[in-house]
Amino acid sequence: MSHSSSGKLPVLWCLLLAGAAALAQTPAPAGSETGERKVDRASAYYHFTLGHLYSELAAAYGNRGEYLKQAIENYKLAMKADPAAAFLSEELSDLYIQAGQTRTAVLEAEEALRRNPNDLTARRILGRIYARLIGDTRTNRVNDEMLRKAIEQYAAIAERDSKDLDTWLTLGRLQSVARNSVDAEKAFKKALEIDAGNEDALTGLARIYSELGDSKSAAEMLQRAAEKSPNLRTLTALALNYEQMREYALAAETLKQALEISAGAKPDLKRALAQNLMLAERYEEALKIYEELVAEEPKDVQSFLRLSQIHRQQGRFEQARAAANKASALDPDNLEVRYNEVGLLESEGKQAEAIEMLKEMLASTEKKSYNAGERGNRVALLERLGVLERNSERYADAIATFGKIAALDTDLSGRMAAQIVETHRAAKDYAKAEAEANAAVAKYPDDRMLAMVRASVLAERGKAQEAVAALRKLLDGKADREIHLSIAQTWEKAKNYPEMAKALDAAEKLSKTDEEKEAVYFMRGAMHERMKRFEAAEKEFRKVLAMNPRNASALNYLGYMFADQNMKLDEAYELIKKALELDPTNGAYLDSMGWVYYRQGKLEEAEQYLLRALQRYGRDPAIHDHLGDVYLKQGRVKEAIAQWQKAVQEWEASAPSEHDPAEVAKIQKKLEGARVRLAKEGSAPASKRQ
């Protein structure tokens, strides 16, 4: 301690001592008592002041014995004068700990309790000391014995002084540390009985509920805390809880409040707000905040990354590329930045480049062994690679990649077996798909997902009865809704619509949430459309959109249905446009937009979208058929014939359940007409062809 500091202590001592002495002469208020003992608050304050001064002197002079002794004696006299003043026992406990005399303090308190088990001062000293010793600095772990002893003391205090708010709060925190959620909840609720709006009790309960997975109750507690005291801590905790509930819009609104009351710039809060706006699909609002962030901090890699992702999601690939390039320039080795590059390349139709980049990422992060986090990341990269390879018709490579995942994490073997089956289906090798599915189900008999994949393969092979029989064996009253939906899909492939309707009715009865009901309505709409009951189909799709206007599948299906019937083309365009805004690279939606443009006579636009659709689904006969129609109208007869030939080829390679002789006959008729036209044009005199 410096000489100047030591010179000031006696002055402070004299001033405070004079004030304390004056208060000591003030009589205690009449009727102020604790039990039978009268409370002398003036005397308590006097001795507390002396104790505090001596404790500061002790700290200043290396815990000198005479100062320490005087501090302890005066704190004890203060507690004797006002036993209910809990803070005095806390001061004394902290003094013992500061001086390294915890053993002395414990022995004294235990002796006091032996003489009088109801001595709350002694229990508070013990509880405080035990609580301070919970953290074991040597092992960086909780000292369970100290935790147990602290809980024991505070529980005894609460039993004897049930109106002591701080005791209930401390007990709640200790029980939380001990993972005794029931007792912790009880303690915090007792605190709320004393102070209904206590922030510590409300946030303590919120933590308990959150750990138990009851996000709704956690949010209710945090809302109460934020309403009474809308501070940064409660609002950010509430926002985090909304995130866990996937209520991203509510999280964003809460973070807006936090930003409004926070002093100065808070980049982290702004990033959290932008992230939640992005997850809530409020892209333009998120975009604005990320642009502000990169303007304030030009080296903000994460914000450039998010800008790229938003632009990509909105189909603005040039802006997405510009933001991605800035992120990559700032941090070229960042895996998330590189992974975004994969998605961007895929969106740009550069599948081969996306595959090569994923392979580079996997090669650069390869190790002999991986921890759980690293293994999870590697599995995600490998699975994305396998799906990209499958979509690019590199079927053997995809199967090998899925096999690597099964070797890396044996817990995923069943799921990877399903991916391999799906790859054989994509390759239109249905016999191989069935053989793989049979082998996988035999190896993993308890895997319900595999059983459903096998049922789908059987249905495609024309074995719907066998598939349904296998699925019905899975009905056990636990997850029957998914099984009924799988049965409905099986009957759909078999074109047995009455049985499909029954299965959908059964699934609807088990559907509780709007999301679950949407799926049933959508499938029922598709069923009616296949049965040419278009008004009934439209009714079901509009039910889906009334519940969820952002259901891209329903938007697309209804729009395509209108376009296919050559009706309500303007509405069809708007519906499919919205679907593409939600999923810009979806091959089915791109085909639908191409078909709408064809119906509207906008042939160049139609060709553009259909070619993009074929980049995604090169083996879809319907897309080839549509492109053939466009080419014929453009007078490009040879190209039309090539597309229709490809369509017939893909129809013939389709699963038996998907084979549609009527559609094939229509295409064959168009082919014959085009060949006749081409022959006539070829035999016409050159002057007439010019």
For 57-68, the pLDDT digits (tens) are 766 666 656 676
pLDDT tens string 532-547? 999 999 999 999 999 9
Return d(Cα 363, Cα 565) in angstroms, integer: 50
- Range scoring the smallest mean pLDDT among 26-30, 126-130, 315-319, 638-642: 26-30
Confidence at residue 233, expressed as pLDDT on a 0 to 100 scale: 84
**pLDDT (mean) for 431-447:** 95
Whole-angstrom distance, CA of residue 19 vs CA of residue 45? 10
pLDDT band at 134 (very low <50, low <70, confident <90, very high): confident
pLDDT of 24 > 70? The answer is: no
Whether the predicted model's global pTM rises above the 0.75 cut: no
Q: What is the pLDDT of residues 236-250, one digit of tens each?
A: 888 888 888 788 998
Q: What's the pLDDT at 225?
A: 84
Least confident of 92-96, 155-159, 507-511, 594-598: 92-96
- Report the pLDDT value the prediction gives residue 139, as an integer from 0 to 100: 62
Secondary element (H or E) of residue 38: strand 37-38
Backbone angles phi, psi at 135, to 5 degrees: -80, 115
Tell me the sheet residues that pair with 38.
33
Residue 203 has pLDDT above 50, yes or no: yes
Q: What is the mean pLDDT of residues 418-445?
A: 95
pLDDT at residue 113 in the model: 76
Mean pLDDT along residues 221-226: 84
- Residue 297 φ/ψ region, left for φ over 0, alpha for ψ in the -120 to 50 degree band, beta for the rest: beta
CATH number listed for the domain at residues 264-348: 1.25.40.10
DSSP string, 221-242: HHHHHHHH---HHHHHHHHHHH
Cβ contact 674:641 at 8 Å: yes
Residue 141 in 3-state DSSP?
A: strand
Q: What is the pLDDT of residue 545?
A: 97
| E strand or H helix at 34 | strand 33-34
Domain ranges of the chain: 264-348, 547-680
How far apart (Å, rounded) are the C-alpha atoms in residues 253 and 159?
A: 42
Asked if residues 392 and 371 have their Cβ atoms less than 8 Å apart, the reply is no
Spatial contact of 572 and 562, defined as CB atoms under 8 Å apart: yes
Segment 111-121 shows an average pLDDT of 78
End-to-end CA distance of the chain: 106
| Rounded Cα gap, residues 539 and 534, in angstroms | 9
Cα 222 to Cα 229: distance, rounded to the nearest angstrom = 10
pLDDT digits (tens, 9 = 90+) for 172-200: 999 998 889 999 999 999 999 999 888 88
Give 37's strand partners: 34
Query: Thinking of the domain 547-680, which architecture would CATH place it in?
Result: Alpha Horseshoe (1.25)
Instruction: Show the beta-strand stretches assigned E in 520-589.
Output: none
Kindly give the residue spans of alpha helices, DSSP state H, lying in 331-427.
Answer: 335-347, 351-364, 372-391, 395-408, 413-426
Interval 211-219 mean pLDDT: 85
Specify the amino acid at residue 293: L
Residue-wise pLDDT for 489-498, tens only, equals 999 999 999 9
Cα distance between residue 405 and residue 415, in whole Å = 10
Give the other-Cβ count within 10 Å of 659's Cβ: 13
pLDDT of residue 94: 66
Least confident of 37-41, 483-487, 627-631: 37-41
Q: What local confidence, expressed as pLDDT, does residue 29 receive?
A: 42
pLDDT at 54: 66
Query: Distances in Å between the alpha carbon of 178 and those of 143, 170, 209, 279, 329?
Result: 10, 12, 15, 35, 48
Q: What is the pLDDT of residue 9?
A: 46
Q: What is the mean pLDDT of residues 459-475?
A: 94
Q: Give percent of the chain above pLDDT 70.
A: 85
The arithmetic mean of pLDDT across residues 558-569, rounded, is: 97
Instruction: Look at 409 and 133; give whichever has higher pLDDT.
Output: 409
pLDDT over 80 (residue 411): yes
Q: Do domains 264-348 and 547-680 have the same CATH topology?
A: yes
**pLDDT at residue 423 is higher than 70:** yes
* Predicted local distance difference test score (pLDDT) of residue 51: 64
> By the 8 A CB rule, do 125 and 89 touch?
yes
User: What's the pLDDT at 137?
Assistant: 56
Range name among 50-64, 326-340, 605-619 with the lowest pLDDT average: 50-64
Q: What are the tens digits of pLDDT across the range 377-387?
A: 999 999 999 99
pLDDT over 70 at 395, yes or no: yes
Q: What is the pLDDT of residue 337?
A: 95
Write out 326-350 in H/E/C secondary structure: HHHHHCCCCHHHHHHHHHHHHHCCC
Taking 50 as the threshold, does the pLDDT of residue 255 lie above it?
yes
Lowest mean pLDDT among 105-114, 145-154, 301-310: 105-114
Alpha-carbon distance of 518 to 553, in angstroms, equals 11
pLDDT for 270 beyond 60: yes
